A and B are shown apart, each in its own frame.
Chain A
Amino acid sequence: GNSVTQMEGPVTLSEEAFLTINCTYTATGYPSLFWYVQYPGEGLQLLLKATKADDKGSNKGFEATYRKETTSFHLEKGSVQVSDSAVYFCALSENTGNQFYFGTGTSLTVIP
């Protein structure tokens, strides 16, 4: 079956620190992979995506590379800001199906 596992939170970092949030997946086919971000009191927003192996998704300084050999899609940012404080969700969708499979979310707090 399909599933997503992401690192447990919460994560607390100082401003300008390097961020990594780990995400691994299990899929029966060839999924697309996504990172969503949820700011306090809001719904989920698409942050970035990758649709095939070795693709790199990027947006707002965040990056993630689709690694088929390790079934991973780790989220990274070189220098976090206070405004990056949010909950981050890793997700996958099978390209032949309509459902998404989400990780449990990782809460990030960035302190000045």
Chain B
Amino acid sequence: DVKVTQSSRYLVKRTGEKVFLECVQDMDHENMFWYRQDPGLGLRLIYFSYDVKMKEKGDIPEGYSVSREKKERFSLILESASTNQTSMYLCASSPPSGLGQPQHFGDGTRLSIL
């Protein structure tokens, strides 16, 4: 089974802090994704990556950056945390595009910015 592991289930940080959310997958997947999930808005794509050192902006990249130095690890960085970034963050991975390839999700990090 694919395992996507997010480093923290719950995290509390202060406004202005630099915050790192880590995600590791064990299935050698090329693609990795970061979403945020908010009530009534579903999942919104922040950033994604198709390969090491490669990144693409999603729908809501403002205030975030990412790092992918190794294939198995994809980090989301909040450069200067703000209260409107309080949310559930979900990491996902998938093989390269192809018929019916699903995304596999971690358990999420519930981040609170005070």
In the bound complex, do residue A96 and residue B105 qualify as a contact, i.e. CB atoms below 8 Å apart?
Answer: no
Please state if A51 and B99 are interface contacts (CB–CB under 8 Å).
yes
Further 6 A-B residue pairs, CB within 8 A, beyond A42-B108, A98-B48, A104-B42: A43-B105, A44-B90, A45-B105, A46-B104, A89-B42, A95-B98
Could you tell me which residues of chain A, from 62 to 111, have a CB within 8 Å of some CB in chain B?
A: 89, 93-100, 102-105
Query: How many Å lie between the Cα of A24 and that of B107 in the bound state?
Result: 27
Tell whether A95 pairs with B97 under 8 Å between CB atoms, given A89-B43, A105-B42.
Answer: yes
Q: Is B25 an interface residue (CB 8 A)?
A: no
- Interchain Cβ contacts within 8 Å, total number: 58
**Contact at B97–A102, with CB atoms within 8 Å?**
no
For chain A, which range describes its interface: under 10, 10 to 19, 20 to 34, or 35 or more residues? 20 to 34
* Sampled A-B contacts (9; CB under 8 Å): A43-B4, A43-B108, A44-B43, A49-B102, A51-B99, A95-B98, A98-B31, A98-B94, A102-B42
Residues of A within 8 A of B45 (CB): 99
Interface set, chain B 88-114, CB cutoff 8 A to A: 90, 92, 94, 96-108
Return A106 CB to nearest CB of chain B, in Å. 10
B43 contacts A102, C-beta separation under 8 Å: yes
Hey, which chain A residues are within 8 Å of B64, CB to CB?
A: none
Contact between A104 and B41, CB atoms less than 8 A apart: yes
Question: Given the complex of chains A and B, what is the CA–CA distance between A103 and B37 in angstroms?
Answer: 12
Contact B50 A98 (CB under 8 A): yes
Question: Contact: B106 with A43, CB < 8 Å?
Answer: yes
Which chain B residues lie closer than 8 Å to A93 at the CB level? 97, 101, 103
Decide: B103 and A43 in contact? CB cutoff 8 A.
Answer: no
**Residues of A with C-beta under 8 A to B108:** 42-43
Return the contact of A51 from the options B4, B100, B104 (Cβ within 8 A): B100
Q: Is A32 located at the chain interface by the 8 A CB criterion?
A: yes
Determine how close the nearest CB of chain A comes to the CB of B25; give it in whole angstroms.
12
**Any chain B CB within 8 A of the CB of A25?**
no
Chain B positions 43 through 86: 1 when the CB is less than 8 Å from some CB of chain A, otherwise 0: 10100101000000000000000000000000000000000000
